[in-house]
Amino acid sequence: MPQTPSLTQHLLDLQRAGTLPAQYPRLGALLAEADEAELARAGRLLSRLDPEAVLAEHPSAPALTVAVTGSGTVASVAPALAAEAARHSLVLRTVVSSYDSWLFDLTDPTSELYAARPDLVLCVLDPTSLLAGLPTPWTVDDLRQTLDARLALVEKAADQFSAASEGTLVLNTPPLLRSLTGQLVDLRSRARAGALWREANIRLLRIAESHPAVVVIDTDPLVAEVPAQDPRWSAYAKAHLSPEFLARYAREAGHLARHLAGRTKKVLALDLDGTLWGGILGDDGSEGISIGEGPAGEAFAAFQRVVRQIGSQGVLLAAVSKNDPEPVDEVLRHRHGMELRPDDFVRVTANWQPKHLNLTDLTDALNLGVDSVVFLDDSPYECGLVRRELPGVAVVPLDDEPALHIEKLLRDGWFDTRELTAEDRKRSLRYRDELVRKDFQHGFDSIQDYLDELGVTVSLDPARDSDVPRLSQITLRTNQFNLTTRRRQPADVQALLDDPEALVLAVRSTDRFGDNGVVGAVFARREGRALVIDNFLLSCRVFARGIEQTCLTALLRHAAATGADAVYGAYLPSPRNGKVAEFYPRHGFTAADTVPGLDERLFRHDLRDLPKVPAHIHLDTPLEGLTP
């Protein structure tokens, strides 16, 4: 039976039975391999689903409010967004503005867009956004003046949004249409018009450089996949971008929404046979596999180069293969044509254990959740098994056509992030070092003996402007040791740094194996004579070393030394932060009054019995109240 009707019918059956909200977390697996037509149909159905009904069934599900505005009819963005949200298990409250209202929406702080307090604003710019006011007839000079005037309005809107909203604004480069340049009959003028349009889009792309709250989607890659406009939709419905184009746009926006919700993936786990090379190593031998030579071998090598490029930007690469370890190691170290080598991976697992168990062992060793993994394999059996046993893993099924591997890997932007930091580029090395630490630990009779020899130094310092991207990233990516799971964009962190009543601290650590970099953050503020910890976060790489106790001790002693009579801390449960539910009570806090109807739990420390820094840790901090 074809997949498309059965999937559509399944969703309809859930809707008619009234169980669609309850089954919402399962939709990601159902939609994982849906084609474009099926996603469009699913989106139309899911856009009618009440997000509050879903949240009533799943109150801890990640939820965002999204406002959609633009210069044309943009209502068709909502169904495409609904499908993308379901694929990634996000709940979106989507508010769509009326026709051609983008300028008013963004420049008037009393607009309905601002009233919705959106986490994400999609301002869909089509070619008419930049062409309003172009006279008839027109010349290239007229086009230049019109583009300058319209871009000034876009920049004004970005300025206003940055000043008035705590959300993220998404702009895009409008595609250049043949229906515009074709109006010029001489090729020289046509070329000048094309240059002007591209210069305008470059100017748009650079808005993000000066506005931390703005993201700009470059639509050139989307235009390479689908037509940018359907003349009939444009003429009769004022929808100046095609439904197919808007579906691709919604996919890009969905990747950003997933990132803002803290659902960015961290690990790329790859099969070997049929995935990184052609053939079966156990049957064909090292020289018999296809890699680097011939059309198929060159396609596998090109795929490996893309994987290595992704790994160079902080994504943790792992190999998970049903093979004997010795021949795998031989291929990775010495086989000509290989682009990936052992040092590119945080771990290479080659054994005959089921792959879902190997993935669980991998994430346990890295101290990550299985939902941080993207898994690629050419075996339908292995993909199906992992999808069934580990539903949090993003499974990307491949096939026997290696030329399509790159497209399938990149399609969903699993690792997309707002900004790459220096910490990202060092992440793979630091996780490999962490596995060495664990091997080192096995040589000791007790954890305390291990910690004594590890030589941990913790620095707890007021954050600097240069720390802002990393601290924002920690709030977006850290899920386990995250007391309230409040996500903060760079502009939010910068605003706290500029607030004299706020205290923003960066946590750094080193040990005998090297520098771990910025591994945590503390956000606090003064309220009268109390210090309130808004959030406390720590990277999963450095759990269980006493760093969390050290930082909390430093903060309590600082509060006492600066006249506070109490410190308050909140814990807001989430699906991933259960291990820190008792963090405050374990360190001398007692339950305080909470707000009825809210899940947030509040704790209070009276500063009478102050803890000590663990003996195995050296604390380096300029905070008042602590001795060097």
pLDDT category at 439 given cuts 50, 70, 90 is low
Residue 79 neighbours by CB distance under 10 Å: 24
Q: What is the percentage of the chain residues whose pLDDT exceeds 70?
A: 96
At 280 the three-state DSSP class reads coil
* Under 8 Å between Cβ of 410 and 310: no
3.50.50.60, 3.40.50.150, 3.20.20.70, 3.40.50.1110: CATH of 62-260: 3.40.50.1110
Place of tokens 């419905």: 237
* Helix, strand, or coil (residue 22): helix
Decide if 267-410 and 441-620 have a common fold.
no
The CATH architecture one would assign to domain 267-410 is: 3-Layer(aba) Sandwich (3.40)
Average pLDDT, the chain: 90
* Rounded Cα gap, residues 24 and 17, in angstroms: 13
Question: For 389-438, what is each residue's pLDDT tens digit?
Answer: 998 899 999 999 999 999 999 999 999 988 887 777 878 777 777 776 66
Give the model's confidence band at 72: pLDDT under 50 very low, under 70 low, under 90 confident, else very high.
Answer: confident
Q: Tell me the per-residue pLDDT of 106-148, one tens digit each, with 9 for 90 and over.
A: 999 999 999 999 999 999 999 999 999 999 999 999 999 999 9
DSSP 72: S
What's this model's pTM, rounded to 2 decimal places? 0.79
DSSP 228-279: S--HHHHHHH---S-HHHHHHHHHHHHHHHHHHTT----EEEE--BTTTBBS
- Read off the pLDDT of residues 315-360 as tens digits, 9 standing for 90 and up: 999 999 999 999 999 999 999 999 999 999 999 999 999 999 999 9
User: What are the residue boundaries of the structural domains of the chain, listed by start?
Assistant: 1-57, 62-260, 267-410, 441-620
Give the pLDDT confidence score for residue 51 in this predicted structure. 95
Environment class of 592 (CB within 10 Å of its CB; exposed 0-12, middle 13-18, buried 19+):
middle
Q: How far is CA 87 from the centre of its chain?
A: 14
Residue 143 token pair:
């086009």
Instruction: Characterize the bridge pairing of strands 316-322 and 267-270.
Output: parallel
Considering the four listed CATH numbers 2.60.40.10, 3.40.710.10, 3.40.50.1000, 3.40.630.30, the one that applies to the domain covering 441-620 is 3.40.630.30
Q: Which residue has the higher pLDDT, 263 or 197?
A: 197
Instruction: Give pLDDT tens digits for 12-33.
Output: 989 999 999 999 998 988 888 7
